[in-house]
Structure 1
Amino acid sequence: MTPRPLPVVRKRSARRRLAPGRVVIGALLTGCGLIFVYPFVWLVSASFKPRGEVFDNRLIPRSFTLDNYVQVWQEAPMLVWMGNTLLVAVLAGLTVTLSSAMVAWGFAYYRFRGRSALFLLVLATMMLPGAVTMIPVFLIWNALGMTGTLTPLWGGNVFGSAFYIFLLRQFFLGLPRELFEAARIDGAGHWAIFTRIAVPLCRPAMVLTLLFEVQASWTDLMRPLIYLRDEADFTVPRGLKSMLDAYGFGGEWHWEIVVTAGVITTVPMIVLFFLGQRHFVQGVATTGSTR
């Protein structure tokens, strides 16, 4: 018997792959991407221009100069500010991630009376505007003698965050409970189950929480304005505010220094996003399941 010929699999034509709908969606996404990236491109371009050409709206500088990057380090203690901000961001990210994970694990794993009501009460705290608690929180830190230090910028994260508790709880609820019951039968304690099983399985969501909080702490201006007085303790946003007052509006109008400082402080967050984008996407994609 002669073997039957294998069926011919026709490849999709290039015309089908380049459907009009895909072309339109691609054009819209490209246009939106250019709109969002344009301000940063303008900022980078302006940082390489002399004082008189900062606002000429040219993306390619007419007179290219590196003097702004030399001058900004001479005019302001940028390295000290970035060090303070890095310290605050790391401490804030680690503390809120660990504390929120423990609280979220309690709501997801343990069964106790009033659990749902207590969880709704935690979520209700997100409804309070920051301006409502600003003065009471300041009075607490002032009574503790912490005003003028970096502690109030991250110390509150020791008690967790309602948003991150909700985020991590949703991930914990998607884990198979039978896995934890099997660990209990094998003799594992509550802390061992949390640290050796739940936390490793929750790594994408915890990395996402860490990235969110580091970015939020790096760009936070309100709390440094309230608690910091000494220039040596300034964070990057607080330092940029002082530079804006000195060289921008009402100052000496050295906008080239302001925009250059803005570029220097923005680049670390861009690098952080590119380094953690895999965890970012994975964390967002795996925190929506409930049980």
Structure 2
Amino acid sequence: MMVNDIRAGFKELLDEANWMDKATYDGAVKKLAAIQEIIAYPDIMLSNTSAIDSYFTTITIQPTFLRSILQSQRSNTIRKLQSITRPRFVVMRWRTPLISLPLTRFDTIGAKYDPEGVHRQWWTNTTINEYERRAKSLVQQYNNYSMPTGKVNGQLTLGENIADNGGLRAALKEAYRSHVPIMCRIFRLVLAVQGYTRYLARPDTKEPVPPGLENYTALQLFFISAAQLWCTKTTPDQERLDLLADTHAPNKWRVNGPMSNMREFSQSFNCPLGSKMNPETKNRVW
């Protein structure tokens, strides 16, 4: 149910992306429909216990926690190497969902993989040019952000910034009860906003309010909960290294960046037009 809501939410974002031409839009809808959900555990775990025993034969519990972790990683590496010799359709069956899972990866990277996971460009040049024009605005936005140890590199973090921005917008499109924060974490806030308002508008919806937070609206709590996912504390050295090499923006800007681009946020918190969290120009790809 939650995954279907997320999928529907991103479908609405595709419908709103009037910068995509019809050929690219049709391909995106087809790719969205081809995404597989891999959640919890496969059915075989309930029906074939011998297969589960076989899966873990290369793992043995070690005397220390660290050695057990290393043993587990070694086992995973062995399985990955073994999978290379499997028929192509078997390998693609589990690899394609990994390519497709972050839904807002319908970008210049996702444009190079079709719904079957085959490496080929399925976006038209017209759509790519329009996409890059919009992406450039996000690069400029994040280039203006900084931390105590240095500035954010908007080009380096572009892909993740597009995912964060498109994500938060889409989870609020098709949100799903108290599980929203969990799913946001799984999808890197890949899908988050208008569906939550739709959910709140359902006649049978009674959103519980946590004690002590009665003065906040459900929509405000949605944004607060999403922001808390990125609460963190890091050392100056690590922060400096992340600014140089990490493709993600610092967590502060993974919150303030996307939310400042959303009209729903500024209206919910009554942010004055022209303030940092309600700029006159709001950047958007999805």
TM-score normalised by structure 2 residue count? 0.27
User: Which of structures 1 and 2 has the bigger CA Rg?
Assistant: 1
Which structure is higher in helix share? 1
Q: More relative contact order in 1 or in 2 (CA 8 Å, sep 6+)?
A: 1
TM-score normalised by structure 1 residue count? 0.27
